[in-house]
């Protein structure tokens, strides 16, 4: 049987490790799907490219699915990537990385903070962090810069004074003496960061291939989470992301901890999804349903997950 193809777009970051493993170790191919993976520069670029049909699958933030499903997407009117969540991915700890001279939230007053976009879920996490410490968002200068590598680069160069990061960029920043003054884990019991979303049309037209992608990803995830594979998984991540030796141990520890990284079984986190909905209701521009399940179609994940013990 000829392998079906799926095009995937993801944000740069350590959470892509199960996908890297599935690609290199042949897990996707074993399930009859040929997967191409490309990395995006921002949530706007990702949504625009998915909406155009360039990609079938997006490894994205749960809030991006909520935003575009409710007409609040950062790409603006007319851009509809048709996101529907097909499985979970990460709890995803977001860290507020700051310049070396920033010691507390109040030190950010009058200074610039780099964000992906100003009305995404990650921005809302920042707003909650500032609010909780008595800092008005309007007292800071906010800049839409793009995905984490770009944001971290602008803080490292001194262009901006702070940003939210994920691994490996959090550990890279700390290794260079930059500060982490807050994290999403300190603010929320659970936060649904990353999910895997399909275009609704692709879910209908390419269901067999998407089922293969889910099966291959779950194998890659299991392989990454297996303690016996720690050294090989570390080498794989370093090869794909060129992470410095002094940071890689911290990156892997965070990635392998369910409270800050990959979610075993690619399950969704009901409480974490509620957190995302509450933040968008508080800081977003429109109304948001309180039913997280309305943004999901887990039928293929459930079919694959439930059949794994029978293979």
**Position 43 confidence tier, pLDDT thresholds 50, 70, 90:** very high
**Distances 289 to 19, 42, 249, 276, 305 between C-alpha atoms, Å:** 31, 25, 40, 11, 28
Same fold, 4-91+191-310 and 95-187: yes
- Return the structure tokens found at 93: 């700890």
SS3 64: helix
Predicted structure pTM score = 0.93
* Candidates 3.40.50.720, 3.30.70.260, 3.40.190.10, 3.90.650.10; CATH matching 95-187: 3.40.190.10
Predicted local confidence at residue 256, as pLDDT: 96
Give the confidence band of 92 by pLDDT, cuts at 50, 70, 90.
Answer: confident
Q: How far apart are CA 102 and CA 105, in angstroms?
A: 8
What is the H or E stretch that residue 299 is in?
A: helix 299-307
Give the C-alpha separation, 155 to 159, whole Å.
Answer: 6
How many Å from the N-terminal Cα to the C-terminal Cα in the chain?
A: 19
Q: What pLDDT sits at residue 2?
A: 72
- Residue 306, C-beta contacts closer than 8 angstroms, at least 6 positions apart: none
pLDDT at 309: 62
Give the model's confidence band at 258: pLDDT under 50 very low, under 70 low, under 90 confident, else very high. confident
Give me the chain's average pLDDT, please: 95
Answer whether residue 80 shows pLDDT above 50. yes
pLDDT digits (tens, 9 = 90+) for 264-311: 999 999 999 999 999 999 999 888 988 999 999 999 999 999 998 644
Residues with Cβ < 8 Å from 71, sequence gap 6 or more? 77, 286
Measured at the CA of 179, the angle between CA 176 and CA 183, to 5 degrees, comes to: 125
CATH for the stretch 4-91+191-310: 3.40.190.10
Report whether pLDDT(196) > 80: yes
pLDDT at 310: 46
The domain segmentation of the chain, as residue ranges, is 4-91+191-310, 95-187
pLDDT in tens, 198-238: 999 999 999 999 999 999 999 999 999 999 999 999 999 99
Average pLDDT over residues 178-183: 97
pLDDT at 202: 95
Quote the pLDDT of residue 311. Answer: 45
Q: Omega before 168 cis (within 30°)?
A: yes
Q: How many whole angstroms separate alpha carbon 113 and alpha carbon 144?
A: 9
Q: What is the mean pLDDT of residues 9-29?
A: 97
Determine what percent of the chain is predicted with pLDDT higher than 90.
90
């Amino acid at each position: 049987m000829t392998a079906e193809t799926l095009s995937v777009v993801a944000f740069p970051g350590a959470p892509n490790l199960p996908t890297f493993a599935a690609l290199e170790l042949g897990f996707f191919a074993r399930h009859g799907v040929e997967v191409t993976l490309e990395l995006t520069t921002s949530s706007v670029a990702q949504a625009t490219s998915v909406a155009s049909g360039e990609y079938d699958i997006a490894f994205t933030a749960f809030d991006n699915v909520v935003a575009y499903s409710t007409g609040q997407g950062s790409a603006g009117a007319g851009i509809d990537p048709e996101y529907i969540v097909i499985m979970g991915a990460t709890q995803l700890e977001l860290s507020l990385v700051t310049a070396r001279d920033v010691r507390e939230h109040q030190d950010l007053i009058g200074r610039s903070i780099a964000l992906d976009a100003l009305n995404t879920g990650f921005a809302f996490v920042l707003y909650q962090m500032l609010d909780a410490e008595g800092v008005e968002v309007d007292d800071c200068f906010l800049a839409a810069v793009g995905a984490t590598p770009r944001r971290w680069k602008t803080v490292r160069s001194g262009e901006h004074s702070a940003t939210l990061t994920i691994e490996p960029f959090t550990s890279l920043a700390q290794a260079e003496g930059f500060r982490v003054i807050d994290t999403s884990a300190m603010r929320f019991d659970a936060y649904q960061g990353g999910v895997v979303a399909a275009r609704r049309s692709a879910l209908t037209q390419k269901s067999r291939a998407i089922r293969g992608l889910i099966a291959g990803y779950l194998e890659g995830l299991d392989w990454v989470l297996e303690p016996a594979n720690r050294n090989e998984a570390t080498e794989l991540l370093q090869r794909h992301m060129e992470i410095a030796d002094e940071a890689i141990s911290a990156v892997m520890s965070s990635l392998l901890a369910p409270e800050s990284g990959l979610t075993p079984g690619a399950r969704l986190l009901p409480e974490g999804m509620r957190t995302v909905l509450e933040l968008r209701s508080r800081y977003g521009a429109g109304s948001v349903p309180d039913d997280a399940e309305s943004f999901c179609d887990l039928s293929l994940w459930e079919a694959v997950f439930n059949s794994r013990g029978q293979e």
